[in-house]
Structure 1
Amino acid sequence: MSDFVLDPRLERDSTLLMKLGLCQLRLMEDGRWPWVLLVPQRSGISEIFDMTPLDQTMLTFETAIAAKALKQATGCLKINMGALGNQVRQFHLHLIARNDGDPAWPGPVWGHGQASPWNRDARTDFTERLLEAL
């Protein structure tokens, strides 16, 4: 892990909440949706198949616990997951809590409007609930 460097765009657009066994759990700086990232702390990974089988297994485990905690913390209808990588090649997995009637429902969140900063109180409340659920 010593040679792991976070892509500057992920650094700019998200905040570290905690480090799990393999991944950094990061909060996206867009208050329209409860939206987190899992970023494996491995160098040179752009696709899931670039990871070792053990790391793939660990990613699956960490994805399940983070998604379950996100659903518990938000009471959302659906968790959307995506690993696009078209703009940021470093492998990262988006977990987004979605609800009927949210700003982009039922479409994808990507490309929908402008990011909106978190309200400080809402951000604190959400992160506390999420970390407690973890």
Structure 2
Amino acid sequence: MKEFVLHSQLAADCALVGDLPLSRVLLLNDGRYPWVVLVPRRADIREIYQLNPDDRQQLLAESCLAGEVLMRSFDGEKLNIGALGNMVPQLHVHHIVRRHDDPAWPGPVWGHSPAVAYQPQQLHERLTLLRGALGTVDIA
């Protein structure tokens, strides 16, 4: 059986939050939006339907957990969830908190403008908050 390996583009664009039972949890390095990416730790999976039924249910549960934590923690008005995969073929599910005052509102965040990286202290605070709220396993 092939081993899960995180796609290099996700590794480059994100900071590691930790692991849930199925998914690696990543924080996209764009401080303008609370933006978490769930990546099921299964090799060679591009689409949700390729997951076995138990993994699909687990992904849904983890997605709901991530969404609830994000919306509660960052006072969101809308949660955008997407599994595009046009640039990165590995299955990954974006969870983005949206607000009427965010730079891309009401349009999509993709392609709107270049990311604004977190400052080190901001990144540390955001990762600490998410790790505690999601109960992720530290894999660092």
By the TM > 0.5 criterion, same fold? yes
| Distance apart, 1:16 and its partner CA | 1.1
What is the percentage of aligned positions where both structures have the same residue? 43
Cross-structure match for 1:89:
89
Cross-structure match for 1:119:
119
| Distance apart, 1:2 and its partner CA | 6.5
Q: Does the aligned pair in 2 maintain the 1:78–1:98 contact within 8 Å?
A: yes
Unaligned runs of 5+ in 1: none
Q: Distance in 1 between matches of 2:80 and 2:127?
A: 18
SS of the equivalent of 2:123 reads helix
Q: Does the aligned pair in 1 maintain the 2:17–2:130 contact within 8 Å?
A: no
The TM-score normalised by the length of structure 1 is 0.94
SS of the equivalent of 1:17 reads strand
SS of the equivalent of 1:128 reads helix
Q: Distance in 2 between matches of 1:132 and 1:19?
A: 12
User: CA-atom RMSD, angstroms?
Assistant: 1.3
Displaced runs of 4 or more, over 3 A = none
- Number of residue pairs matched? 134
Cross-structure match for 1:34:
34
Q: Distance in 2 between matches of 1:78 and 1:132?
A: 22
The TM-score normalised by the length of structure 2 is 0.90
Q: Distance in 2 between matches of 1:8 and 1:129?
A: 25
